[in-house]
C-alpha cells in the first residue's frame, strides 16, 4: 500500500491551447467586426469571445493564405457548432444563437499546416 500525492497546475496558456480568448467588442451601431491574425505552424488555435443575445444570427467568414481554417463556436454550456467543410482557403459558419451569453469563436488549422494568415469577419444579424 503506497501513498500518492497529486498536484494539478493549470495556467491560462495551457487551458486555452495558446492564449486566453481575445474579447471582441463591436462599436455602437456596428453589426460586424474584422479580425486579422495568424495561426502559428503546428501551434494552437486562436480564440475570440463575444457577448451575444438570444435569437441573433452569427456568421463567421474566414479567408486564409496557407491552409483551410476550421471554425467552431461554443457557448458557456458547452454546446458547440463546427464548420462542416471548407471551400479551399475560405470557410464559413452561421449559428442561430439559442441564449444570451458569452460565445467563444475558435479558428484552427491542420497540425501539418505552416503559418497561416487569416482575415475573419464576424457578422451579427
pLDDT of 17 higher than 70: no
pLDDT at 27: 82
- 68: its cell numbers: 483551410
Number of domains in the chain: 1
Residue 2 lies in a domain: no
DSSP secondary structure string for all residues of the chain: -----------HHHHTSSSPPEE--PPTT--EEEEEEEEPTT---EEEEEEE-TT-EEEEEEEESSS--EEEEEETT--EEE----BTTEEEEEEE--SSEEEEEEEE--TT---EEEEEEEEE-
Instruction: Give domain status of residue 38, yes or no.
Output: yes
Q: Rounded to an integer, what distance in angstroms lies between the CA atom of residue 112 and that of residue 43?
A: 10
Asked if the structure places residue 4 within a domain, the reply is no
Which of the four pLDDT bands, split at 50, 70 and 90, describes residue 15? very low
Task: Please give the residue range of the domain that contains residue 66.
Answer: 12-124
The CATH number of whichever domain residue 29 belongs to comes to 2.60.120.380
Whether residue 46 lies inside any domain: the answer is: yes
pLDDT at 61 over 80: yes
pTM: predicted TM-score of the whole model, two decimal places: 0.81
Amino acid at each position: 500500500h503506497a501513498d500518492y500525492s497529486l498536484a494539478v497546475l493549470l495556467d491560462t496558456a495551457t487551458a486555452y491551447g495558446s492564449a486566453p480568448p481575445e474579447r471582441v467588442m463591436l462599436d455602437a451601431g456596428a453589426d460586424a467586426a474584422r479580425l486579422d491574425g495568424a495561426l502559428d505552424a503546428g501551434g494552437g488555435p486562436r480564440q475570440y469571445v463575444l457577448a451575444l443575445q438570444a435569437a441573433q444570427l452569427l456568421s463567421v467568414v474566414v479567408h486564409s493564405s496557407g491552409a483551410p481554417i476550421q471554425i467552431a463556436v461554443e457557448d458557456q454550456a458547452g454546446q458547440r457548432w463546427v464548420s462542416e467543410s471548407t471551400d479551399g482557403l475560405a470557410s464559413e459558419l452561421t449559428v442561430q444563437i439559442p441564449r444570451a451569453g458569452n460565445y467563444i469563436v475558435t479558428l484552427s488549422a491542420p497540425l501539418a499546416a505552416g503559418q497561416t494568415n487569416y482575415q475573419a469577419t464576424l457578422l451579427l444579424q
